[in-house]
Amino acid sequence: MTPTARTTDVAALALEYGDRLVLGTVRDVHTAVAHRVFGATRIVGSRVPEAIHDAVAGSVYGSLSRVLRASGTAARSMAARGVGAPVEGSRVGRQVRSAVNGLVGDELRLMGDPQAITMSLRRDGTDIAATPWKLRQAYPDATGHLVVLVHGLCENDESWLRRGPSVTYAERIAADTEATTVLLRYNTGLHVSENGQHLDELLEQVVANWPVAVHRITLVGHSMGGLVVRAATNRATVAGHLWPHRVGDVVCLGTPHAGANLEKAAHLGSRMLRFWPQSTPFGAILDSRSAGIVDLRHGYISADDWEGQDLTARWGLDRIAAAPLAHAEYHFVAATVGAGRWHPLSAALGDLIVHFSSAAGIGRDGPVAQAARLEYLPSAHHFALLNHPRVGDWLVAWINAKPRQTRRLGS
């Protein structure tokens, strides 16, 4: 049974990172500055002031570190005894957990931390097992057309339910189509390729155990979610799985197909900070970001893109081409904060997170999907794509349209 993540686990994690990153950074910066300041005393041949300073500083930092580590251990012990409210008990707690997974989810999984998220279907803020009985309970009005919504970095299934200028996509789909919306949650700190594998395996289970025969699937990914969707279809095709034959549409909302400028800036920033001893510790903070975030630098969707490379130290290579599903329609939605794509704000910031050309699927080696249809949303930011009336209209139209090709098992 998976341990329950509690607020005491959150506190323990904060204390552990406070010791390793915050206190460690302050200590290392202090040491670098002191080494430079005491250069004058070393010139005149006296290291006594520096030795006294180092002894006092080492004692102070060591004491603070021991207090933080002891407090973290105590918090973990309390969590193991059931002390502390379950993180999943509130929407805010679930949002915090998802954000933490996006930042350090790969490390949480490696440590066996109960806060690490496992990919699962979600309904009403709880996990739904992909078994026949649980699926019948959770989706009593299930239809044969699934619309799978895959969230982005540091988000969760409830990110799609945010209130905006219109009803949610799930509400629009229920009211205006004959499809059934399926939400899921996953650890966005893991490699995109690994989450693609998990999505492939999950959809294989869902299709096999769905209450009625599944004849069509529409995949919708926001930001990183679009990369995970493409990683899943790529992996499933190579593995010879059957569910991709039912995919009629792949919709990517603000997806960094050619990479995210924010992650590129983080990488360059961490490299630049290492030029000076006094700023090197801050570079270590940037380097602690998760594998999932690093994958966004180039829009990696395959393990072959990054295996054998330390991408926190190296820029990385261009993406390996991944063929889109030949029978599916691809719809790429790009937004810009400016009123037009050539507006100065649009050219500089894109949608604040992803540049127009990347969301449009245009890389240095050409488009990632030759026949992808592009829709453009001006005067909108990245997170507006989670609930926007025009996007809702497009989704309904795509879902209700006759698929280009219907492929069934055995065809």
Could you tell me the sign of the dihedral formed by the alpha carbons of 51, 57, 59, 62, in that order?
negative
Backbone torsions φ then ψ of 222, nearest 5 degrees: -100, 125
Look at residue 265 in the predicted model and tell me its pLDDT. 60
Question: Which pLDDT score, from 0 to 100, does residue 18 have?
Answer: 75
pLDDT in tens, 329-384: 999 999 999 999 899 999 988 999 999 999 999 877 778 888 899 999 999 999 99
pLDDT for 408 equals: 43
Q: What are the tokens at 404?
A: 């280009």
pLDDT of residue 321: 65
The yes-or-no verdict on residue 277 having pLDDT over 70 is: no
Q: Is the pLDDT of residue 286 over 60?
A: no
User: What CATH number does the domain containing 336 carry?
Assistant: 3.40.50.1820
Dump pLDDT digits (tens) for 144-203: 999 999 999 999 999 998 766 679 999 999 999 999 999 999 999 999 999 999 999 999
Three-class DSSP category at 370: coil
- Whether 281 shows a pLDDT value over 50: the answer reads no
Same domain, 229 and 369: yes
| Shared-domain flag, residues 254 and 336 | yes
In a domain, 15, yes or no: yes
Phi, psi of 358 (to 5 degrees): -70, -45
State residue 253's pLDDT score. Answer: 98
Number of domains the chain is built from: 2
Which is it for the CA torsion 207, 210, 213, 215, positive or negative?
negative
Tell me which residue of 230, 232, 228 sits closest to 189, measured CA to CA. Answer: 228
CB 119 within 8 A of CB 199: yes
What was the pLDDT predicted at 411? 38
The per-residue pLDDT for 310 is 66
Q: For residue 113, tell me if it sits in a domain.
A: no
Give the strand order in the sheet containing 180-185.
126-128, 120-123, 180-185, 145-150, 216-222, 247-253, 329-335, 373-377
323 and 248 share one domain: yes
Average pLDDT over residues 395-411: 71
- Looking at the fold, whether 59 and 148 belong to one and the same domain comes out as no
pLDDT value for 121: 98
Please list the alpha-helical segments (H only) found in 48-191.
Answer: 48-80, 91-111, 132-138, 169-176
406 assigned to some structural domain:
no
Q: Are residues 67 and 131 in the same domain?
A: no
Position 146, amino acid: L
69 and 190 assigned to the same domain: no
The residue-averaged pLDDT of 27-51 equals 66
Q: Closest Cα partner for 265 from 353, 344, 187, 154? A: 353
Domain co-membership, 228 together with 346: yes
Give the confidence band of 396 by pLDDT, cuts at 50, 70, 90.
Answer: very high
Q: Is residue 205 situated within a structural domain?
A: yes
Place of tokens 């969760």: 156
pLDDT band at 229 (very low <50, low <70, confident <90, very high): very high
CB 268 within 8 A of CB 287: no
Task: Output the CA–CA distances (angstroms, integers) from residue 266 to 120, 131, 294, 408, in the order listed.
Answer: 30, 41, 9, 45
Confidence category of residue 328, pLDDT binned at 50, 70, 90: very high
Q: Which domain holds residue 339?
A: 120-259+318-400
Question: Model-level pTM?
Answer: 0.86
Asked whether residue 29 falls in the same domain as residue 139, the answer is no
Is residue 294 situated within a structural domain?
A: no
pLDDT at 283: 46
